[in-house]
Chains A and B, each alone.
Chain A
Amino acid sequence: MELHEGAAAATGDGVLDFSRLNLSTLNVDSVSDERRKDAKQIYLNNNRLVSLSSSIYLFNNLEFLDISNNRLTAICEDITRLTKLKTLLAKNNRLNEYSLPKEFGSLQLEVLNLSGNRFEEIPLQCTQMLRLQSLSLGGNRLKSIPPEIENLTSLELLYLGGNLITAIPAEVANLPFLTYLVLCDNRIQSVPPQLTRLDSLRSLSLHNNLLTYLPREILSLVHLQELSLRGNPLVVRFVKEMTYDPPSLLELAGRTIKSRNIPYFPHELPDNLLCYLDLASKCPNPKCAGVYFDSCVRHIKFVDFCGKYRLPLMHYLCSPECTSPCSSNPQSDAESEDEYSVPADRLQRVLLG
């Protein structure tokens, strides 16, 4: 069926509705010059388009374009000529990481929805849009999140649910305005503690993943109001098995230098030792001034948080003698039954790196 002006429900306020018209192509010629200039929003969703006509650029004042629910395998290069385009919805098509034009990153988009396509990677062009506030790539085939995601400094919403993602890069924590992070229905085994830097995070969706515990740092997300965790194999009881092995001589020396503030200078030590000393982690126990390098003790505390009962939160202590820090979150249990019933020599030991 051909497109012509009469067929479309033209509301006369810059909105052209060509949706659900069984279109196989977009014939721009049949739209008058005036209509093309006026058009701010175009709905082309739910048709049979296999490609987007390059003449789309003739709608040069376009701000909103919906091409969802078509059969698109690529988006034409000429779309980058739509300098005023702010919202592009292209969900439920047949797009992959090779479908986007090279200069796609030059668009000043604020909202981009590519959910329900065939992306196996987040294309680099998507990480170049500095005005992007909302990025949706749900229901694709993504295996990972590129560290370049941190370039999207305006991002508030990141929807990556329903993919094959196995890990969250720490760079996600560098998005200063992120309020809604959706990672449900993936294959994530752990949440990086760096996510604690996401001050503005309001909602975190982690349901249907492979999490057994969460980092204790999650309690620092003071603005977090929604947290979904169903369908994760979260531990209900912390299993204590192994005995504690003492730290190495290198570690003991490193700990002494750091905790006693013994001065050292770059010309005094070989590079490898300088690097090692930089890796010191402060013991999370506020009463302990100690540090640890590779040898620490893993401990799980069960805490009520965000409407959830007894979340297993993992934290690390520098030694079994170091008592577990009190939680700063008033919602948490004052004591966990696990802490009191476990003799110190049975706490599990974890080697980092």
Chain B
Amino acid sequence: MPKSGEQQQRADHQHRLPKTAAEMEQTEVVVPKTLDELIAILHKIFESDCINVDEVQQIMESYESNPQEWTKFAKSDKYRYTRNLVDEGNGKFNLMILCWGEGHGSSIHDHTDSHCFMKLLQGQLKETLFEWPDNKKSEMVQKSQRILLENKVAYINDSIGLHRVENGSHTEGAVSLHLYSPPFQTCQTFDQRTGHTNTVKMTFWSKFGERTPFEATVSQENN
């Protein structure tokens, strides 16, 4: 099960905070036309401590992916997927671009009590949802599976469950934009056969378009 009850409320109670009629009137529906505009809007939204998940999802989805705007962040590795930091969101969120080569996939992982938004910038990704394992050593239970198409945004947090993300294509790579709030540096990976967990440190392949040295030398993914 997810961590402490208090921390759990962080992602939970902010999950659905509906806007009042007055708030709806005041809010302009701004469609970000560029990645920079999207980042600026996100900075503004995350000034507040309360996050409307639907609003963030909608805004991220309305940005139409334009490779010219993000190619400089999309540095790939032939052996495994890469995480490339784009923006640190004034400490409120991390925005990063993940590059998935053919066949690349992640372990089953949690999100350390944070919100996670994932948008497809190019190609397609398969998301498989899992239940949290119980205390018995047994095969983890798969909840659902879906293919996310270009420009679609998926949302997950620990109360919804765990997931594995993979590029199932043998001919095309995939690129995705991820927003995590609050930012986190470690998470748990899960062994699908037994539910056994491992805490792993998350590292960046590049930051702000510059390749940064990889800290861990051994893969920490359980995939």
Residues on A facing B (Cβ under 8 Å): 91-92, 115-116, 138-139, 157, 159, 161-162, 180, 182, 184-185, 202-203, 205, 207, 225-230, 234, 236, 306-310
Contacts and interface: CB of A to CB of B under 8 A. Distances in A.
Given A115-B102, A161-B102, A230-B192, 18 more contacts: A92-B171, A115-B171, A138-B170, A139-B171, A180-B78, A180-B79, A203-B79, A203-B80, A207-B223, A226-B80, A226-B219, A236-B139, A236-B193, A306-B218, A307-B189, A307-B221, A309-B222, A310-B191
Contact of A307 (B78, B139, B169, B219): B219
A116 B171 contact: yes
Interface of B: 78-80, 102-103, 105, 107, 137, 139, 164, 168-171, 189, 191-194, 196, 198, 217-223
A193 B194 CA distance: 26
B190 to A, nearest CB: 9
A308 B220 CA distance: 8
Nearest to B220: A307
B105 A230 contact: yes
B102 A202 contact: no
Contacts of A236: 137, 139, 193-194
A229 B218 CA distance: 16
Contact of A161 (B78, B80, B103, B198): B103
Contact of B219 (A162, A184, A185, A225): A225
B170 A116 contact: yes
A159 B164 contact: no
Nearest to B217: A225
A115 B193 CA distance: 31
- Enumerate the 6 nearest inter-chain pairs by beta-carbon distance, A residue then B residue, closest first: A138-B170, A139-B170, A162-B170, A116-B171, A203-B79, A309-B191
A138 B170 CA distance: 5
23 contacts: A116-B170, A138-B103, A139-B171, A161-B102, A161-B103, A180-B78, A185-B103, A205-B103, A207-B105, A225-B217, A226-B80, A227-B219, A228-B105, A228-B221, A230-B105, A236-B137, A236-B193, A307-B198, A307-B219, A307-B220, A309-B196, A309-B198, A310-B196
B193 to A, nearest CB: 5
B223 A228 contact: yes
B110 to A, nearest CB: 16
Nearest to B107: A307
**Residue of A92, A116, A184 with highest tally of chain B CB at under 10 A:** A184
Nearest to B221: A307
Contact of B170 (A185, A227, A228): A185
A284 to B, nearest CB: 25
A180 B196 CA distance: 28
Contacts of B191: 308-310
A221 B222 CA distance: 18
Contacts of B170: 115-116, 138-139, 159, 161-162, 185
A115 B102 CA distance: 11
A226 B222 CA distance: 9
A322 to B, nearest CB: 29
Contacts of A162: 103, 170
Contacts of A307: 107, 189, 198, 218-223
B217 to A, nearest CB: 7
